[in-house]
């Protein structure tokens, strides 16, 4: 599944650095989400990898995960 699978409606897109093989934690995620002024109902996140806690939170928000390390989400 690629980004095109998200459709044409507006989304909030969070992109985390992938070059350093950083695993995004729940704390990283929440800092970024809290920085969104007026969040939409759709979320997509891109990064190298995400902790299980971060993945659970993203899914609870109805978000999509695009991880370099785990491409099956």
In a domain? residue 27: yes
pLDDT at 39 (0 to 100)? 62
Residue 73 in domain: no
**45 found inside a domain:** yes
Q: What is the chain's pLDDT, residue by residue, as a tens digit (73 residues)?
A: 555 666 677 788 899 987 778 899 999 999 998 877 766 668 899 999 999 999 999 998 888 898 887 654 4
Tell me, yes or no, whether 72 lies in a domain: no
pLDDT value for 25: 95
Asked whether residue 23 is domain-assigned, the answer is: yes
Alpha carbons 42 and 11: distance in angstroms, whole number: 5
3-state secondary structure of 71: coil
Residue-level pLDDT at 72: 47
- Within a domain: residue 22? yes
Report how far residue 21's alpha carbon sits from residue 44's, in angstroms, rounded to the nearest whole number.
19
40 domain residue, yes or no: yes
pTM of the model: 0.76
pLDDT at 18: 75
- Domain of residue 63 covers 3-67
Please count the structural domains in the chain: 1
Residue 8 lies in a domain: yes
């Amino acid at each position: 599944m690629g980004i095109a699978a998200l459709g044409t409606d507006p989304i909030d897109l969070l992109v985390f650095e992938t070059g350093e093989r950083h695993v995004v934690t729940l704390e990283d995620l929440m800092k970024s989400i809290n920085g969104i002024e007026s969040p939409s109902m759709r979320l997509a996140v891109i990064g190298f990898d995400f902790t299980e806690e971060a993945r659970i939170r993203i899914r609870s928000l109805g978000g999509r995960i695009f991880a370099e390390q785990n491409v099956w989400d």
